[in-house]
Amino acid sequence: MRIDEAVALIRAIPDYPKPGILFQDITPLLGHGPAFTAVTDHFAQFARPATSIAGIEARGFIFASALANKMHAGFVPIRKAGKLPHAVFSQNYGLEYGTDVLEIHVDAIAFAGEVLLIDDVLATGGTLEAAIDLIHRAGGTVYQVLALLEIRALGGRARLASKYPQIPVQSLVIT
């Protein structure tokens, strides 16, 4: 399946989770095996050997863990507050419809390694910025950010570029 056919399965849900938000529902893509494989294969082009692949809860987990498995790499979960059982670093962040906290285990990055960071949507950039900060605090270096979707009007790419100009950002779909 071609990547454009795969991303065409994403459906927009207006006014979810609150009025004014146009939610991008990736579940049709995930439920279609060839589409999910096409996205994972596309993301694999950006993975370096012997690195860790980090994913942000919840939907970023799906792509990051699938890619880590494909690449025989370690998977690093970046979770919402209170979900990890060991000592953590925490980071507050803002998103387009509120605020939240992300956490990472203090020992999540083995050998101060390079990390490929994946999330489903790049919107304001707050979530990815928090995740990058957490990875750095845990001893890792983010060498690339991948997103399935990017909402250009919310300025997330510019936000990340101003704080982390050395980290390239790649999005499959830009709206």
Q: Please say if the pLDDT value at position 96 is more than 70.
A: no
Contacts of 156 (CB under 8 A, 6+ apart): 122, 123, 124, 125, 126, 128, 150
Catalytic residue list: 59, 96
Tell me the C-alpha distance between 153 and 169, whole Å: 16
pLDDT for position 88: 97
Residue 27 lies inside a defined structural domain of this protein: no
Which CATH number does the domain housing residue 72 bear? 3.40.50.2020
Could you read off the pLDDT of 23-73 as tens digits, one per residue? 899 999 999 999 999 999 999 999 887 689 999 998 999 999 999 999 999
Which strands, in side-by-side order, build the sheet including 169-174?
A: 88-95, 98-105, 74-80, 52-56, 114-122, 141-150, 169-174
Which has the closest alpha carbon to 61: 100, 102, 99, 94?
102
d(CA 136, CA 160): 14
**In-domain check, residue 28:** no
pLDDT at 112: 64
- Asked, for residue 15, whether it belongs to a domain, the answer is no
pLDDT at 25: 94
In this predicted structure, the answer to whether residue 97 has a pLDDT above a threshold of 70 is no
The token duo for 41 is: 């294969």
In a domain? residue 29: no
Question: What DSSP string runs through 51-67?
Answer: -EEEEETTHHHHHHHHH
| Average pLDDT value for residue range 7-22 | 92
- Domain assignment present for residue 105? The answer is yes
Q: Is residue 40 part of a domain?
A: no
CB hemisphere CA count around 2 (13 angstroms) = 3
Domain count of the chain? 1
58 within a domain of the structure (yes/no)? yes
Pairing mode, strands 88-95 and 98-105: antiparallel
Mean of all residue pLDDT scores within the chain: 93
The pLDDT tens digits for 110-169 are 766 899 999 999 999 999 999 999 999 999 999 999 999 999 999 999 999 999 999 999
- Domain housing 125: 48-174
pLDDT at 172: 93
Residue 158 lies in a domain: yes
Q: Which tokens sit at 12?
A: 């927009």
